[in-house]
Structure 1
Amino acid sequence: MKYLLSALCLFLIVFFLSCNRSPSGTKKSTEKKTGPKRPNVVLIYTDDLGYGDISTYGGEIPTPHIDRLAEDGLKFTNAYTTASTCTPSRYSLLTGEYAWRAKGRGVAPGDASSLIKPGTETLPGVLQKAGYKTAVVGKWHLGLGGEDGPDWNGKIAPGPLEIGFDYSFLIPATGDRVPCVFVENHHVVNLDPDDPIQVNYRKKVGNWPTGKDNPELLTTKWSHGHDMTIVNGISRIGFMTGGKAALWRDEDFADKLVEKSTAFIRENKDKPFFLYFSTHDIHVPRIAHERFQGKTDRGPRGDVIVQLDWTVGELTKTLKELGLEDNTIVIFTSDNGPVLDDGYEDQAGELVGDHHPSGILRGGKYSAFEAGTRIPMIVKWPRQIKPGSTSGTLFSQIDLIGSFAAHTGQDIAPGQAPDTQNHWDVLTGKDSAGRKGVVQEATHGVLSYVSGDYKYIPPSDGGPKITWGPDIETGFSENEQLYNIKDDPSETKNIAEEHPGITGKMREELMAVREMGR
């Protein structure tokens, strides 16, 4: 009996020890789990925010909440969107495919049909397959509906819910385009069926006044191209009539988007979630809420930067209150470079002062120069990323889908997301070996190429300046251009003739990317 008891005790001791060790033989962690195993993801995608627009990148307008993201996370100095305009950059971000690979993916009109078709692999779709709840809140500008465009008075589909999002609350295109209504999931919010919406981008519909014919009704005057239907004292691109009960108030954009976003976070706090928070700020028309108007001496553009900073603070505050901060990846970035006068007389140029929206870079929105596509990008993940880090590694937003697919163990179907790469370790600050090169798309579909220390811009027939209003250099020339953007980030000296070997190599690499998949 004594030997039997001893054997039993020995068995229990061995069993106890084995239960407290992992298969590798190391001791199991006794740390209590405080959140989902997979990190939540909040992607804050801002609009027209330049490389030098926020104070952590040298801007003169205070942005303490955004600066805190950088203090607590990783700040990129060499990150790119894929285009210097919004629709193609958003398309590439979500699909992992350069927008220029097919026609019809330029800046979309407000009544465009869905550019991302059902069945396309997308960033939200990848995360949805990995068990995430997914939402998009804010500016969309990727088209809605079938081949005939959206049915504003019925079910609006396909749209975000058909390409990987579980919930959507949208500004259908942009604030400067009709219809001036929100779309939640498949329907216009607060639409009165007895007051149907009509939209037309070619001819006037209804009898609502326009900025061109009734300038006395405007609270914000147009400068170029925004002289059609007036809504909320602001004339827009395009004509509309009807839907009065559903019309938005521009001053409420930030509050409404924060309200919907924080509600989604609270509803899904016990499961992994992905929130694509697509701000309207700082796109035109720049109409801050009354409590932010006059907060800066830079006019409405400065005020909406302060408002943008507040929205970031509200989202991060919610994450902290719910105990989600440590295991949430917050990515803050922009869709393209900055612009001052983009269609409204809001004194953006007159009051800019010593604030430099492009920082040390040349160009801006629409441009082939660096300020068109090199954008601020900050990634915060307290559980994994060392606070106060900086990365000069080349990173492209097109790689978000490939990186998150790899991290969550999801395969991307053959033929889908053809241009994305897995750079998870770059995104999280663990690796300095980024992608070899990235193609940038400027207005009129002009492509340029960045690789290593160099930037190559091929010859183009376009003129040197934007012709329809904004005071921005296009970066176009009849000659090849090569810049050493490490030593000359302002692109002041074209060295193409001095370095024919590098120029030729860059030309060939750009051509190879263009021909891929044809």
Structure 2
Amino acid sequence: KTAMVGKWHMGHLPRHLPITQGFDSYYGIPYSNDMDRDPSVKGNWVTTGKTSPWSVYKVPLLRNAEEIERPVNQTTITRRYTQEAVKFIKDNKENPFFLYLAHSMPHIPLYRSKKFEGKSLNGIYGDVISEIDWSVGQVLNTLRKQKLDKKTIVLFTSDNGPWEVFKTHGGSAGLLRGAKGGTREGGMREPAIFWGPGNVKPGVVQEMGSTLDVLPTFASLAGVKSPDDRAIDGYDLSDVLLNRSKSPRKGIFYFGGAQLSAVRSGNYKAQFREENGINPKPLAKPELYHLGEDPSEKYDLADKHPDIVERLAKLGEKLQASVKAVPDQLVPRIGK
């Protein structure tokens, strides 16, 4: 059995929902928790210093394709996602399963249950993270209690860096440069924590990986052949997890909208377009950084290594040529 619990945001029309994309069941919201906002309510936390009540956002909660609550009570949504995930694990403990749990938080606007109000010294953002931490613990404890922990591999990761404009409500990228919406490391690099007692060796892996690699990696671990009727951009990282081997992934391509903005090969990353925006403009001249020595992307090495810049540019041109152009639906709507 397969289940998707949480934020989907890959199409809200019936033909795009999880149950028509391979999942047996779905429980969650079809898009971001800041959408369907009541137009009569003006301002946000940045402009007013206050978070609007959750009822301002007319976001629906779906079970499969049926709307069961609107607006969804966002103060309880993390807890309810967790309960749904735990129930799915218990109901399917006798058979193989795949669970995709995508929490709505800590996307703006931030909400947490009463149990976690004031739990963190880091304000509401910290409270929200504390509740997500609790949620992960509930899932892992359920696997242990059902004696599934040694037969299951769990991946914890995220989709983008902090939303800088929302300041303390948006999180922090630490030493990394940039934020959500950009192609610097602060906008793109995420934690990736694998858990699987007896399967995943404890420790820290420095090898390169991408969320594109999740499909072929999990397919390999499950003994399932990856689809061969389409291009698969990911690599099988199972040997990296199980045996600490070298990663087959040697590079990463960073897109801003439909535009290739940066290319990484090994430790070198070349930046060709502005770091932010959905329609980034070309830089006056390319930049080059060594991410092993300079993860903050402070020291431009392009003048010292023009040969590396040229090599990465050619890799980018080859990749861009393989991407099928489609009409842009976003830029024309919000402006250039």
Q: TM-score range by the shorter chain?
A: 0.7 to 0.9
Alignment CA distance shift 1:466-1:416 (3 Å): closer
What residue in structure 2 maps to residue 135 of structure 1? 3
What residue in structure 2 maps to residue 455 of structure 1? 269
Shift of 1:475: 10
Alignment CA distance shift 1:288-1:444 (3 Å): farther
What residue in structure 2 maps to residue 502 of structure 1? 308
1:309 aligns with 2:133: yes
> Contact conserved, 1:222 with 1:235, CA < 8 A, in 2?
no
Distance 2:94 2:150 in 1: 14
Instruction: Name whichever of 436-445 and 163-172 sits farther off.
Output: 436-445
Shift of 1:507: 0.7
Distance 1:249 1:307 in 2: 16
Q: Specify the structure having the higher radius of gyration (Cα).
A: 1
Distance 1:421 1:246 in 2: 40
1:358 aligns with 2:173: yes
What residue in structure 2 maps to residue 437 of structure 1? 251
What residue in structure 2 maps to residue 385 of structure 1? 200
SS of residue paired to 1:455: strand
| Higher relative contact order structure (alpha carbons within 8 Å, sequence separation ≥ 6) | 1
| TM-score between the two structures when normalised by the length of structure 2 | 0.84
Larger % of helix: which? 2
What residue in structure 1 maps to residue 236 of structure 2? 422
1:398 aligns with 2:212: yes
Alignment CA distance shift 1:135-1:417 (3 Å): farther
Distance 2:256 2:147 in 1: 42
Shift of 1:246: 3.3
1:282-311 per-residue CA deviation (whole Å, 9 max, x = no partner) reads 111111111111112322111111111111
Distance 1:245 1:257 in 2: 14
1:52-105 per-residue CA deviation (whole Å, 9 max, x = no partner) reads xxxxxxxxxxxxxxxxxxxxxxxxxxxxxxxxxxxxxxxxxxxxxxxxxxxxxx
Matches within 5 A, 1:289-308: 289-308=113-132
What residue in structure 2 maps to residue 34 of structure 1? none
Q: Which of residues 93, 103, 124 is equivalent to 1:269? A: 93
Q: Which of residues 28, 31, 51 is equivalent to 1:170? A: 28
Aligned residue type for 1:144: H
Alignment CA distance shift 1:508-1:370 (3 Å): same
Alignment CA distance shift 1:340-1:235 (3 Å): farther
Distance 1:475 1:359 in 2: 26
For structure 1, the residue ranges without an aligned partner over 5 or more in a row are 1-132, 146-155, 180-207, 216-220, 225-229, 238-242, 468-473
Distance 1:431 1:331 in 2: 18
C-alpha RMSD of the superposition: 2.9
Aligned residue type for 1:382: P
Alignment CA distance shift 1:446-1:511 (3 Å): closer
Distance 1:244 1:485 in 2: 47
1:392-422 per-residue CA deviation (whole Å, 9 max, x = no partner) reads 0001110111223334443344441431222
Query: What percent of counterpart residues are identical?
Result: 31
Distance 2:241 2:182 in 1: 26
What residue in structure 1 maps to residue 327 of structure 2? none
Aligned length: 314
Q: Which of residues 26, 30, 46 is equivalent to 1:223? A: 46
What residue in structure 1 maps to residue 81 of structure 2? 257
Greater than 6 Å deviation, 4+ residue runs = 464-467
> Contact conserved, 1:286 with 1:301, CA < 8 A, in 2?
yes
Alignment CA distance shift 1:308-1:236 (3 Å): same
What residue in structure 2 maps to residue 57 of structure 1? none
Alignment CA distance shift 1:381-1:244 (3 Å): closer
Alignment CA distance shift 1:314-1:244 (3 Å): closer
Aligned residue type for 2:264: V
Distance 2:162 2:3 in 1: 27
Shift of 1:314: 0.9
Shift of 1:373: 1.1
Aligned residue type for 1:291: K
Alignment CA distance shift 1:475-1:488 (3 Å): farther
